[in-house]
Amino acid sequence: MRRSPAIIAGIVIIAVLLILSIGAPYISPHNPLQINLTDRLLPPMWMEGGNSTYPLGTDAVGRDILSWIIWGTRTSFLLSVLLIFISATIGTTLGILSGYLGGIVDTLIMRAVDFFMSFPVILLALMLAVILGPAVLTVSVVICLHIWAGFARMARGETLRVKSSDFIDAAKVMGVSKFRIMLRHIFPNTMTPIVVLGTLNVGRTALFMSTLSFLGAGIPKAIPDWGNMIAMGRTYILRAPWISIIPSVAILVVVLCFNMMGDKLNEYLNPEVRIKMQAR
């Protein structure tokens, strides 16, 4: 894995995003919410009319796009990672319980999984935005409700595969409790596909969050977010296309980074995929 260009590039990009997210107050050259009408719609510094004070230009009210992008990593990246961690924890726990206990527990959890995977999540987000208004908590709840089911189904499948193994039977014979078997023996054996699925879902979550913000059902417009900037720039797409293009490129980088990382992790951590790749 250390020799894989995709893994190395992914780690570097993630490190940069993490540094930008944590150090945004110290790194950003301007306050992202500061309005300066005298410098509105300035192009990036490499275009005619641009200057080094605003390297990526300004928006319709003179806010610095670079500062907005830097602060936007906190919602588009850090919040996505946090929501994936919460969803993975809930989904993996319920999936292991469903696969190991079976019976009525399995039926109830799997019917809940089917319901949340089939429910139109965009409609749910729009409904909550109308009722509660756009808020970080609202979009967080919508994303967690949408994502946890995939982790639950994955964890259940891995649990059904592992629970029939000899070492599980040996643990039962030794009198090990069900809770301890699930925690010490089944959970570690479900981690590889869960990590891969979580990595793939980070980019998708960032894209989905930006989509909700673009539709007005996500992050409030007063909070720096890449989706909000794309929405604000659509009015000026012909006059000042950089307002929408620059945050779109940032989203593209995040999605590609985590998709490549997820594919490569699956290739290196999944024995079946690794055998197939070596056979080629």
Range of the domain at 170: 5-279
DSSP state of 1: -
Q: Mind listing the pLDDT tens digit for each residue in 52-83?
A: 888 888 888 888 899 999 998 888 888 888 99
Task: Specify the long-range contacts of residues 100-103, CB closer than 8 Å, at least 24 apart.
Answer: 100/159, 100/163, 100/178, 100/181, 100/182, 100/186, 101/178
Residue 184 confidence (pLDDT): 85
Read off the CATH number of the domain in which 159 is found: 1.10.3720.10
Q: Mind listing the pLDDT tens digit for each residue in 126-177?
A: 887 778 777 788 888 888 888 898 899 999 988 988 888 888 888 888 888 8
Q: How far apart are CA 236 and CA 4, in angstroms?
A: 41
Read off the tokens for 276: 């197939």
Using pLDDT thresholds of 50, 70 and 90, give the confidence band for residue 277. Answer: low
pLDDT reading at 90 higher than 90: yes
Q: 174 and 117 in contact (C-beta within 8 Å)? A: no
CA angle at residue 11 from 7 to 14, to 5 degrees? 135
Provide the percentage of residues in the chain whose pLDDT is more than 70. 95
Q: How far apart are CA 12 and CA 127, in angstroms?
A: 38
Provide the number of structural domains found in the chain. 1
